[in-house]
């Protein structure tokens, strides 16, 4: 089995993916690690290839065409494969990601809509449909919710669409003897889960916790009443009563406050605020980056590889409001 290479720099990217044919070869290798096998008749062996249509293979036995983008976010696209590969590379290698406007400019795309749609399709590939719940028995997981939002483009000044977002983040302790971050008592963030929730009721927040966190974990929350049922459904629960004292919360929920603060900065700085309709997609992207922040180069490969396993929205879906951005709890 050959391992797929992934680019670590722009020159390497250019060398690996000089044209659409190179991108097609990469997709083929990703799908058939042991060589082409026809999905229609099961015959193995070299298919026919067409220079003018690099995205299509034809089985020599049954003569059926197989599209290399079938089942991926690139299916039925009119955008060249090389543009998609650039997009995946830019999205995963620039640590804050990029806005549709920046992306349109970088790739010289004539239509903003194309840039917008490509980025949203890649975001659909950022959700692992089989994502595990975070935490473990004995692990600490901080859970909190916050209002996220702000001005939405085109709706005029002073219009604020605030959306409630719930977050769960693993808290790990640095090993003794390593460099400690004293401000946070040596605690560091593990994996994160983020989801739009309808309200702050016990039903909404416990459903979020059940989707995001493994039972048996120690869930640390503020004193909000809606979290009081967690013990009954199998979690250790440590509610921290803030009593209006922000310092107490900072001491007991330092990591989650950092995550929310980074999230808000990112939404404002890179994307200049996002509409409630698309917020879940940006939460997915933020989580994807956050959870892979120590492995930026693997993201490119996993994004392309994962992309094939997810249903992606069409532009019409995105604007009609029919499309629901997937969350980590959408198990296949
Ligand atoms: Zn065949």
Distance 35 CA to ligand 1 centre (A): 14
CA–centroid distance, 24 to ligand 1, in Å, is 19
Ligand 1 centroid to Cα of residue 312, in Å, is 27
Average pLDDT, the chain: 80
> 259, 166 in Cβ contact below 8 A?
no
Sign of the alpha-carbon torsion through 251, 254, 256, 258 = positive
The separation between CA 292 and the C-alpha centre of its own chain, rounded to angstroms, equals 10
State the distance from the centre of ligand 1 to the C-alpha of 3, rounded, in angstroms.
25
Q: How many Å lie between the centroid of ligand 1 and the Cα of residue 61?
A: 5
d(CA 305, CA 117): 19
Alpha helices in the chain (DSSP H): 10-16, 20-31, 81-93, 100-107, 112-124, 202-212, 246-252, 254-271, 279-291, 296-307, 315-320
CA 73 to ligand 1 centroid distance, Å: 24
CA of 83 to the centre of ligand 1 (A): 30
Quote the pLDDT of residue 46: 93
Higher confidence at residue 193 or residue 159? Answer: 193
* Cα 50 to ligand 1 centre (Å): 16
Q: What is the mean pLDDT of residues 98-121?
A: 87
**pLDDT per residue as tens digits for the range 59-103:** 999 999 999 887 677 887 888 989 988 888 888 777 667 788 888
pTM for this predicted structure: 0.69
Q: From ligand 1's centre to the CA of 66, what distance in Å?
A: 9
Task: Tell me the β-bridge partners of 168.
Answer: 143, 193
Domain segments of the chain: what residues?
1-68
| Span from the CA of 64 to the centroid of ligand 1 (angstroms) | 6
213 CA to centre of ligand 1 in angstroms: 44
Cα(37) to ligand 1 centroid in Å equals: 8
Q: Are 44 and 37 in contact (CB under 8 A)?
A: yes
Which neighbouring-strand residues pair with 37?
44
**Which two three-digit tokens encode residue 74?**
């690139």
């Amino acid at each position: 089995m050959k391992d797929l290479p992934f680019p670590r720099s722009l020159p390497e990217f250019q060398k690996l993916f000089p044209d659409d044919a190179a991108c097609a070869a990469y997709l083929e290798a990703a799908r058939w690690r042991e060589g082409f096998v026809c999905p229609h008749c099961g015959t193995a062996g070299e298919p026919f290839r067409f220079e003018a249509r690099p995205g299509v293979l034809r089985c020599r036995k049954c003569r059926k065409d197989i599209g290399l983008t079938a089942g991926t976010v690139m299916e039925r696209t009119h955008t060249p494969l090389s543009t998609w590969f650039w997009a995946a590379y830019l999205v995963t290698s620039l640590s804050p990601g990029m806005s549709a406007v920046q992306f349109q400019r970088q790739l010289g795309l004539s239509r903003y809509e194309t840039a917008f749609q490509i980025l949203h399709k890649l975001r659909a590939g950022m959700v692992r449909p089989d994502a595990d719940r975070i935490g473990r028995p004995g692990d600490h997981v901080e859970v909190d919710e916050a209002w996220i939002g702000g001005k939405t483009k085109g709706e005029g000044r002073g219009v604020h669409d605030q959306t409630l977002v719930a977050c769960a983040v693993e808290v790990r302790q640095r090993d003794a003897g390593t460099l400690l971050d004293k401000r946070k008592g040596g605690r560091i963030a593990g994996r994160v889960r983020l989801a739009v929730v309808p309200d702050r009721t016990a039903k909404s927040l416990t459903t979020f916790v059940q989707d995001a966190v493994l039972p048996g974990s120690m869930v640390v929350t503020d004193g909000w009443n809606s979290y009081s049922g967690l013990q009954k459904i199998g979690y250790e629960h440590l509610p921290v009563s803030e009593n209006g004292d922000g310092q107490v919360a900072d001491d007991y929920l330092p990591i989650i406050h950092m995550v929310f603060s980074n999230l808000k900065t990112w939404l404002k700085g890179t994307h200049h605020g996002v509409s409630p309709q698309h917020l879940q997609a940006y939460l997915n992207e933020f989580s994807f980056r956050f959870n892979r922040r120590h492995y930026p180069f693997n993201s490119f490969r996993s994004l392309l590889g994962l992309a094939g396993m997810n249903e992606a929205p069409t532009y019409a879906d995105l604007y009609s409001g029919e499309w629901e951005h997937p969350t980590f709890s959408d198990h296949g």
